[in-house]
Amino acid sequence: METPQQIKIDPGDLLRLSVIPGIGSKKIRTLIARFKTPSNVFKASYRELLQIEGVSKLLVTNIKKFRNDDFVSRQLQLLTKNKTRILSYWDNEYPVLLKKIEDPPVILYINGEIRHNDKKSIAIVGTRNPSTYGKLVTERFARELALKDFTIVSGLARGVDTIAHNAVLSVGGNTVAVLGSGVDVIYPSENQKLSETITGSGAVISEFPMGTKPEAVYFPRRNRIIAGMCLATLVIEAGKKSGALITADRALEQGRDVFAVPGNINNPKSAGCNELIQQGAKLVRSIDDILEEFSFSTEKPKNIAEQLSHIPLSKHEEKIFNLLSNEPLHIDQISEQGGLPISQVLSVLLSLELKNLVKQMVGKNFIRAL
């Protein structure tokens, strides 16, 4: 008997099958388990189809008579135009962990590539409007997990999602963006360039047909895929009604771990995370708290001295860098503590920024980027 991975699926036939009224992904998997391919489903007799558990007379009639060739033709044209392809449930590249959820999609539209290592994936999600703290924490966790060869999965939304994708790309890591629209309809539109960059070293995927515009009702379905692809979901800053909490709920329903970063109890953006921790999500302070859950190496990332060892610094650059921390420090304080005029401090800070060692925050405040 053929395993699902050995089945060769014709995209056009699968599309034709997928739009038959009343069929659903579960019945498609059941039918293909019996008839091996969508083409054979269409060729099967009324009697053969009725023998399949859960297949009604009405569904058999629809299979034999219903056709939406215009939809199929349009989808195939858009796939070619956008250099997109269909990844079916039976393909080797289909995410291994996603197959294990209750109702995995039988079709994924994909730009890019799902890599073998993507089974070692962590979802990072959170608010669309993170605080400075949320931005810094997202960058650090995404970057450090990527350096530990984790694939970071998120939803390409504004805020935490975008920061996580960019942080992974900045260290040459692998990231996957899951959309609540067609892969040819990037939302938000300002992330068009980011989506193209992601496809160069990862993938942008969706279960929604090409041309599908984003709708609020689609995002919970998107979130179940984000959670389903991953070993665990990490929530960084989320209000009580944040969509990130839906992803956390889907992860729990799928038997996956949920991690949450604690936040300021006076900040509404942290209310969701703090509540998750109160309800049993694991509080995480560093990636070691995540790694230990999966028996992966808990070797700490290189300390700052090791990271700086290959970056040449002048005497003044080293002095200014050592004054900074993860807490914002104003330019006046840096000048005073460093004993250097502001004009010289600005020059040194610019040099450190160009070396990706320092970041400028609002109000002429500076922090370390490491």
Q: What is the pLDDT of residue 106?
A: 96
| Separation of first and last alpha carbons in the chain | 53
Q: Is the pLDDT of residue 3 over 60?
A: no
Which residues span the domain enclosing 251?
116-294
Q: Based on the fold, state whether residues 251 and 326 are members of the same structural domain.
A: no
Does one domain contain both 245 and 334?
A: no
C-alpha 304/C-alpha 250 separation (Å) is 37
Res. 5: pLDDT tops 60 = no
Distance separating alpha carbons of residues 237 and 232, to the nearest angstrom? 16
- Averaged pLDDT for residues 246-251: 93
Q: What angle do CA 196, 197, 200 make, to 5 degrees?
A: 95
pLDDT: is 301 or 278 the higher one? 278
Asked if residue 278 and residue 185 are part of one domain, the reply reads: yes
Residue 107 belongs to a domain: no
The 10s digit of each residue's pLDDT in 129-145 is 999 999 999 999 999 99
The per-residue pLDDT for 316 is 87
Same domain, 160 and 219: yes
We report the CATH number of the domain holding residue 212 as: 3.40.50.450
- Domain of 11, CATH number, reads 1.10.150
State the total domains in the chain. Answer: 3
User: In what helix (H) or strand (E) does residue 358 lie, and over which residues does it extend?
Assistant: strand 358-361
Question: What is the number of other CB atoms lying within 10 angstroms of the CB of residue 202?
Answer: 25
* pLDDT at residue 241 in the model: 85
**244 in the same domain as 141:** yes
Domain final position from 34, 64, 81: 81
Average pLDDT over residues 224-242: 93
Query: Residue 302 — very low, low, confident or very high, per pLDDT cuts 50/70/90?
Result: low
Q: Is it the case that residue 336 has pLDDT exceeding 60? A: yes
Q: What is the pLDDT of residue 151?
A: 95
Q: Is residue 299 part of a domain?
A: no
**Are both 341 and 264 inside the same structural domain?**
no
121/251 same-domain check? yes
In a shared domain, residues 65 and 124: no
Last residue of a domain, one of 246, 274, 294: 294
Give the residue from 265, 266, 264, 225 showing the smallest Cα distance to 125.
225
Tell whether the model's pLDDT for residue 120 goes beyond 50: yes
* Least confident stretch, 13-27, 80-94, 191-205, 301-315: 301-315
The answer to whether residue 162 scores a pLDDT higher than 60 is yes
b/e string for 169-190 if b means 16 or more Cβ within 10 A? Answer: beeebbbbbbbbbbbbbbbeee
| Per-residue confidence band for 352, with pLDDT thresholds at 50, 70 and 90 | confident
pLDDT at 116: 67
User: Mean per-residue pLDDT for 41-69?
Assistant: 92
Q: Is the pLDDT of residue 110 over 90?
A: yes
pLDDT > 70? residue 304: no
Residues 204 and 328 in one domain: no
What pLDDT was estimated at residue 108?
Answer: 97
Q: Based on the domain organization, do 288 and 141 belong to the same domain?
A: yes
Based on the domain organization, do 223 and 259 belong to the same domain? yes
Alpha-carbon distance values, 40 to 7, 15, 35, 49 (Å):
12, 14, 6, 11
Same domain (yes/no): 136, 236: yes
Lowest-confidence pick of 203-217, 269-283, 307-321: 307-321
* CATH number of the domain that residue 337 is part of: 1.10.10.10
Is residue 303 over pLDDT 60? no
